Amino acid sequence: MVNDIVLETWTKSGETTGLIRHRNDEDTKPLHAYRSQVLVISMIFSVLIITFLMSVIDFWIDDDQFVQSQHAIVKNKDHLAMKNREYFYQCAPIVSCDYSDKYRTSNGTCNNPNNPIWGSSNTPFIRLVDAHYSDGISKLRTSSDGEPLPSAREIQVKLFLNKQIRIPDKNNQLLMQWGQFVAHDVSNLAIDTNGEDCCTNKNELGVSRACEASIKIPIDDPVYSKYNITCMRFTRAMTSNNYSCPLQPLTFIDDASHFIDGSQIYGSNDYVVSKLRSFTGGTLISVLDNNQEFCPRSSFNSSDTNKYLYNSGDSRANLNLGIALFHNMFLRFHNYVAFKLKIENSLWSDEKLYQESRRFVGAIIQHITYTQFLPIILGKNYTKDEVLYGNNKYDPTVNPSTSQEFSTGAFRVLHNIIPAQHRFIDSNYTTVKIVNVTDWMNCPYLLQQGSNYDQLLRGLLSTEGRLSQPSYNPLNTISMLTYLPGNIASIFE
């Protein structure tokens, strides 16, 4: 940035003396004889004045303001966020909205009076760029010669095996866990399973669409070869076709509401919401165990009564101990808020207590995300200038739906900092137990044993996280977060 311009006349060198010396009789000439000199002088002063004005403008208008104006231009380009707008023209259901209602709907509809379906559950992820299928419709991409692309597993191992393992970060493990919690709030890609085991079923009619993306495992894989595993189940997601909307190219559907509204706690449709509510005092259903409150147990539990899954607003609540802890924590928080509101407002109905508590919890999630989480991920200045205060007026023409590029690409950056182990720390801040993340995936019942809930929460708070690295997280690279036997995660810490 140019802060000032130094202007010199160079009079001492004599370069300008011919322009400022006194006239005498010898120099007397007709005025038209000086026309060329006057023209040159005028041009010089014009350039100097323009340069000075530009320097002043540059001094007062910094680069950030220019960048912000460019961002504003980009953000107003409708085509960037509407690559798959056809769904809303052809297949969007008609919804009836009561705009006098002060509370959010469970599925995210009616947020925008002009476009009430935008951002609701069971609507497409928007695209920032065009889809790229080998057949232009749905088939997986191929190489330039038309052959299938190499195994994703083979490329991953060759690129990232034996790279930097772990660099401590100044942020604790709650950073990653909050990211997963919020990701589950705005994004839930429905999987097209059809009950198929894509690695064992051999269909004479060919591979079904759901199984097209199964990943071949090289015979010399550093992990799976030890267990004679040659195929990794990877099922393609459901599309608009599964929702009676035959669009081309295929459009992927978000089962969650696209807003940060706590849908992972409460559910993204009325049916799930009703299954989780107690309809008493505005609270959610919970179970008490050793005077501790936990989420209700799912009906899909193991025959072993000591092993169970939690029921919550999101189907991924049991993926790992950290996310299960968050679901239990926010269940407790909702019920705590409802209890406090009932004390202060004894005449409020169950419905009002529930909705006000839900509203409060949703606001807390938004506040933490925008004021605590995003400044770490995006940087304080960018978050302040572009997210919190830059172009923050409501614009009904902007589709708030989650973009496919964000959900499947950008937000996966937090996979890079998934911890390999969880530490359980007691009230004296002594580590009493360390468990491998991969040993307890889809096994959340460890939380209810003794003081494990409090100790794990204290562990997430007190344990330094993993720094994001270009070589990616070796926990993902080697084990792919699958449930292999043994002590596989311990080698990464």
Return binding residues for heme b: 415
> What is the spatial distance between Cα 326 and Cα 332, in angstroms, rounded to a whole number?
10
Residue at 262: amino acid letter: G
| H or E element at residue 216 | strand 215-216
Beta strands in 47-142 (DSSP E): 123-124
H-type alpha helices, 161-262 = 174-186
Helix (H, G, I), strand (E, B) or coil at 117: coil
- CA count, 13 A, side-chain hemisphere, 341: 23
Q: Which residues belong to the annotated binding site? A: 415
Q: Which residues share a beta bridge with 253?
A: 124
Structural contact between residues 314 and 256, judged by C-beta atoms closer than 8 angstroms: yes
From CA 238, how far away is CA 254, in angstroms rounded? 9
Q: Is 476 exposed, middle or buried (0-12, 13-18, 19+ CB in 10 A)?
A: middle
The DSSP code sequence of 29-63 is --GGGGHHHHHHHHHHHHHHHHHHHHHHHHHHS-H
- Of 304, 306, 323, 301, the C-alpha closest to 314 is 323
